[in-house]
Amino acid sequence: MRGERVVGLHFFNPATAMNLVEPVAHPGSATDALALARSLAEGAGKTVIDCADRPGFVVNRCARPYYGEALAMLEGGRGADEIDAAMMAAGYRLGPFALIDLVGADINLAATRSLSAAMGGHPRYHVFAALRDKVGQGDLGCKSGRGFVTPSAVVPTPADAATIRRRIECAMLNEAAWLLSEGGVTRQGIDTAMQLGLNFPHGPFAALEHNGHDGVRATLAELEQAAPAHLKGRYLPAPVH
- pLDDT value at residue 225: 98
Q: What is the mean pLDDT of residues 60-73?
A: 98
- pLDDT value at residue 210: 77
- The class (CATH top level) of 59-189+206-231 is mainly alpha
What is the percentage of the chain residues whose pLDDT exceeds 70? 99
**pLDDT, tens digit (0-9, with 9 covering 90-100), for 108-161:** 999 999 999 999 999 999 999 999 999 999 999 999 999 999 999 889 999 999
- pLDDT value at residue 3: 78
Sketch the domain layout of the chain as residue ranges. 3-48, 59-189+206-231
Q: What is the mean pLDDT of residues 194-203?
A: 96
**pLDDT, tens digit (0-9, with 9 covering 90-100), for 208-225:** 877 888 999 999 999 999
Q: HEC profile for the chain?
A: CCHHHCEEEEECCCCCCCCEEEEEECCCCCHHHHHHHHHHHHHCCCEECCCCCCCCCCHHHHCHHHHHHHHHHHHCCCCHHHHHHHHHHCCCCCCHHHHHHHHCHHHHHHHHHHHHHHCCCCHHHCCCHHHHHHHHHCCCECCCCECCCCCCCCCCCCCCHHHHHHHHHHHHHHHHHHHHHCCCCCHHHHHHHHHHHHCCCCCCCCCHHHHCHHHHHHHHHHHHHHCCHHHCCCCCCCCCC
